[in-house]
Amino acid sequence: MQEDISIYEAAKYPWSVMARSLLKDLDVTLSEADKNPKILQRTSQRLLGALDSKSLVELEILDSNPYVELTSFFVAKALVDGIGSMFLRRRWATAEAKRAEYNLIKETEAKLAHIGQVEFKWQVENLTSRFAGRTFTHRLYFANYLAASAGFHEREWKLVNKRLSDGYVLLRKSETARVIRAAVEKMLVRDIKKITTDFPSNIKEVYNTVDEVVRKRTDRIRQEIQGEIVPEAFPPCMQALLADMREGKPLSHIARFAITAFLLNVGMDVDAILELFMKTPDFRDDLARYQIEHIAGKRGSTAYTPPSCAYMVSVRLCVDPEKVNIRRHPLAYYRQRRKWQSKP
């Protein structure tokens, strides 16, 4: 009975510590999953559903068998690692995090606090309080709140617009669930594993299907942003980073990553980017080349895209934060601007 309860819980939150340890206990292998058509079908649904921007993410647990639900998450994760596309990884992480939020809303307030404490080591408590006619259900330590909500750009999430008490941010239940969703998404995007084995045949088929959809989508986007590079269409954040490089100013690690990923995605080659970095302090040809090639996906399985506008704001690289509500990604800015500039 206890195991039934825990497998149902693990199926709802398959990224949790408890789910991972249960899967280890169940000792499920990819070869075993390969023989189960339900797992294969659900894996495919998870990934293709996440990639389909027109359809809403299906939030309910579709398969009544929690074992299938749990295992399909891990097969999907292995495929995301194997395919190595950041586009797919971000879409999949968003879909899984939305599903988590949908389930969290239905939990008790105490459970939400427990998840925050166990999964993210937050200082969070389920404590009911009332201020100005509003009821709050949780308090979250401000530093944890700031880290988790860094990508939120709506005014209501700014710390100045939050009720604070003794260094804790007071949150309603739906807000706590939203903050956990952001933390889940970030965790899934960052948890990249290198796949060293071949997938068994049926899982390989799902891999091929998903890979083809990803390739078509990213090729289309690439066609729109590649071709002749139009520097005038670069977004202000990237123009600012380029100006800093030309002036020989030191760039932070994340700034280097953002500008390199941006330039690679608009079609600049490794040598041309290397030349731009030559003026920066502490330049080392071998190290810089290695890093650029790594971001380009030439040294691993993942080719990276630059961070989203929300993330750029959180690391203070956005130079136009007022516009973040209308912009989502520096590459989207470039794509639109380039199209607009090439109109006769």
| Interacting residue with ligand SF4 among 26, 48, 127, 319 (CB under 6 A) | 319
Closest to ligand SF4 by CB, 99 or 256 = 256
Comparison of 207 and 333: residue with beta carbon closer to ligand SF4? 333
Per CB under 6 A, the segment of 115-123, 155-163, 185-193, 311-319 that binds ligand SF4 is: 311-319
- Whole-angstrom Cα distance, residue 139 to residue 164? 9
- The verdict on 306 binding ligand SF4 (CB under 6 A) reads no
If the CB atoms of residues 139 and 327 are measured against ligand SF4, the closer one turns out to be: 327
**22: Cβ–Cβ under 8 A, 6 or more apart, which residues?**
6, 7, 10, 70
User: Alpha-carbon distance 273 to 262, whole Å?
Assistant: 10
- Interface with ligand SF4, residue 227, by CB under 6 A: no
The kind and range of the H/E element at 138 are strand 134-141
Q: Minimum distance from CB of 333 to ligand SF4 (Å)?
A: 4
116 contacts ligand SF4 (rule: CB under 6 A): no
Determine if 259 is a binding residue for ligand SF4 (CB under 6 A).
no
Q: How many CB atoms lie within 10 A of CB 53?
A: 8
Contact of 13 with 103, CB cutoff 8 Å = yes
Binds ligand SF4 by CB under 6 A, chosen from 46, 148, 235, 251:
235
**162, 169 contact by CB (below 8 A):** yes
Closer by beta carbon to ligand SF4, 209 or else 239: 239
CA distances from 272 to 26, 233, 234, 277, 304 (A): 50, 18, 16, 9, 18
Please name the residue ranges forming H helices in 54-191. 66-83, 86-104, 109-120, 142-148, 173-190
Task: Mark residue 191 as left, alpha or beta (left: phi above 0; alpha: psi -120 to 50; beta: remaining).
Answer: beta
Kindly state whether residue 266 participates in binding ligand SF4, applying the rule CB under 6 A: no
Q: Is 331 in the site for ligand SF4 (CB under 6 A)?
A: no
Q: Which of 74, 309, 314, 338 binds ligand SF4 (CB under 6 A)?
A: 309
Q: Nearer Cβ to ligand SF4, position 150 or 324?
A: 324
Instruction: Tell me the C-alpha to C-alpha distance, in Å, between residue 274 and each of 130, 189, 238, 251, 260.
Output: 57, 27, 16, 14, 9
φ, ψ of residue 316 to 5 degrees: the values are 60, 35
Q: Choose the stretch contacting ligand SF4; rule: CB under 6 A; options: 172-180, 202-210, 320-328, 336-344.
A: 320-328
The nearer residue to ligand SF4, 177 or 318, going by C-beta atoms, is: 318
- State the nearest-atom distance from the C-beta of 226 to ligand SF4, in Å: 18
Binding interface with ligand SF4 (CB under 6 A): 235-237, 309, 312, 318-320, 323-324, 327, 330, 333
